[in-house]
Amino acid sequence: MSARNPGMELDLEWVSRVRVNTQAVLKRAQQIQGRKLVKKQWEAAWLLRAVTCIDLTTLAGDDTPSNVHRLCLKATQPVRCDLLKAMDMQDKGITTAAVCVYPSRVADAVKSLKAANSSLPVASVATGFPAGQTPLKTRLEEVRLAVQDGAGEIDIVINRTLALTAQWEELYQELQHTVYRASLVAMMAGSDFIKTSTGKETINATYPVAIVMARAIRDYFLRTGHKVGFKPAGGIRTAKDSLVWLTLMKEELGEEWMGPHLFRLGPAPCWRTSRQVYHHVTGRYAAYQELPLA
């Protein structure tokens, strides 16, 4: 993680001056999606970079120590060793960025990772994830407990009721303004990362929303000099998606925002990425059983 974002006084004037032209943002998103994707060894390298940015996540009601353990082991070795060797990448520390679990599973995850001799951080969702509809007191308590158990990173959900009614009465559909403003406020409050969504809802990380958030990050950086990270979550289904996300970061914020310290991919299907890597190395498409199990 890069230097922490200390936050700043809430500057409502800045927040209210924000202008977003939806049409232009959509066009920009199309343009980024329409870019020709990288091929050959560039594709392989980009995919591996995408893997190192993944927050390997399990957020299910039936999580138990055993599946969390399996997840942790996969996080330490997301791509088959022989494939990495073929690309001469076996000793370059290709692991996912973090393991992300519910607060009650944090202790299990920390234990499993310690056993595997890994220093991967454990992230925990908190504060009434995913809806954010719990009282402040319980939310704070939740964070405290998770940190106590060894969580290095906490995903916080903002209270959208506030965001939507209190200050910015724009329609919910008019996402763009709200997104930019909410992002700015979150950064002023000292967030190190801002995240598109919880990954648990029907509308997830879309590129236009991401562009707006990336611009908020850039704005905040230009104003304060602090670099805030970005995490798209949900809706990332294919290996191609993760490449488009990396392209978006490169185009909007630059290469610095393409590493795990400033960029995370939320719940993403690691195995699809592995399959593409497998194809790059062998020239064949892998059967599901040839890839590491989650």
Partner 1 sequence: MAGSTNKTVHDIFQSMEYGPASSSTATAQSWLESHSRSLGLFLDGTFVCPSDRQTSTVNDASGQRLWTAVCAAEEDVSLAASSSVGGFKVWNELSCHQRARVFHRFVSSLQRHGQCLTELCELAQAPSSVSALVRLAQYYSGWAQLKDALVPDWTPRCGGCGCVYGVVAVAVSDDCSLYALLLKVLPALAVGNAVIVAAGSGTALPALLTASILREAGLPVGVLNVLTGKDLSLGVRVARDPNVSCVTYTGNKQDGEILSRETAGLGVPLSLSLSTSAICPFIIFDSADIDSAVDGVIEAAFRKKKDWQWILCVQESVWDGVVARLKVRMAGMKCLPLLAESDRPIVDAAVQEAQQQGATVIQPCPPPSSLSLYPPTVLWGVAPSCPCVVSPPAGPLLPTLSFRTATEGITIANHSPHGQAASIWTEDLTLSLECAKSLSVGTVWVNSHSVFDPSLCLSGTKESGNCANGGPAGLFQFLRPALSPSLSRSSPVPVNYAKFGTDGTQPTLPGAPEPADLAHDPRSYLHFVGGRPCKADSGRSVAVLAPGGGVIAYCPDGGRKDVRNAVEAAAKSQPGWKKRSAVSRAQSLYSLAESLELKRRDLALSLQAQTGILLEAAEMEVDLSISRLCDWAAHCDKEGGGVQSLPQSGSALSFPEPMGVMGVVLPDRSPLLSLVSLLGAALAAGNAVVMIPSEKYPLPALEFIQVLQSSAIPEGVVSIITGGRDQLTRALANHSVIQAIWYWGSKEGCQYLQYTCCSPLKSLWLHPEEVGDERGKDGGQDWACFHPSLMEEMWRQATHWKSVWIPTA
Active site residues: 155, 195, 231
Region near partner 1 per CB under 8 A, out of 1-9, 54-62, 85-93, 152-160:
85-93
Identify which of residues 93 and 135 has a Cβ nearer to partner 1 in the complex: 93
* 275 scored as a contact of partner 1 (CB under 8 A): no
Is there binding between residue 28 and partner 1 (CB under 8 A)?
Answer: yes
Instruction: Considering the complex, state which of residue 115 and residue 172 has its C-beta at the smaller distance from partner 1.
Output: 172
Which regions of the chain does DSSP assign to beta strands (E)? 55-57, 98-101, 122-125, 153-155, 193-195, 229-231
What the block records as the tokens of 159 is: 């209270």
Q: How far is the CB of 197 from partner 1 (least distance, A)?
A: 19
Q: How far is the CB of 94 from partner 1 (least distance, A)?
A: 9
Identity of the residue, 87 or 164, whose beta carbon is nearer to partner 1 in the bound complex: 87
HSE, side-chain direction, 13 A CA sphere, residue 130: 15
Residue 31 or 138: which CB sits closer to partner 1?
A: 31
CA atoms within 13 A on the CB side of 176: 15
264 binds partner 1 (CB under 8 A): no
Q: Of 41 and 161, which has the nearer Cβ to partner 1?
A: 41
Element containing residue 147 per DSSP (H, E):
helix 136-148
Asked if 13 touches partner 1 (CB under 8 A), the answer is no
Among 227, 159, 274, 223, CA closest to 5: 227
Of residues 220 through 259, those in contact with partner 1 by CB under 8 A are 222, 246, 250, 253-255, 258
Query: Which of 92, 114, 144, 237 is the binder for partner 1 (CB under 8 A)?
Result: 92
* Binding string, residues 102-121; x marks residues near partner 1 by CB under 8 A: --------------------
Subset of 196-215 contacting partner 1 (CB under 8 A) = 215
236 vs 239: CA distance, rounded Å: 8
Give dist(CA 128, CA 139) in Å, integer: 6
Count of residues making up the chain: 294
Main-chain phi, psi angles of 18, to 5 degrees: -60, 135
Q: Total binding residues for partner 1 by CB under 8 A?
A: 37
Q: Angle at the Cα of 64 (from 59 to 65), degrees rounded to 5?
A: 115
Q: Which of 27, 114, 144, 237 touches partner 1 by CB under 8 A?
A: 27
- Sign for the CA dihedral angle at 275, 277, 278, 279 comes to positive
What distance in Å separates the CA atoms of residue 187 and residue 185, rounded to the nearest whole number? 5
* 151 exposure class (CB count in 10 Å sphere: 0-12, 13-18, 19+): buried
Sole residue written with tokens 């209190």:
166
- Residues 30-69: x where in contact with partner 1 by CB under 8 A, - otherwise, as a string: -x----x-xxxxxxxxx-xx--------------------
Residue 137 engages partner 1 in binding (rule: CB under 8 A)? no
Find the largest Cα–Cα distance for the chain. 56
Question: Of 105 and 181, which CB lies nearer to partner 1 in the complex structure?
Answer: 181
Residues of this chain that interact with partner 1 (CB under 8 A) are 19-28, 31, 36, 38-46, 48-49, 87-89, 92, 215, 218-219, 222, 246, 250, 253-255, 258
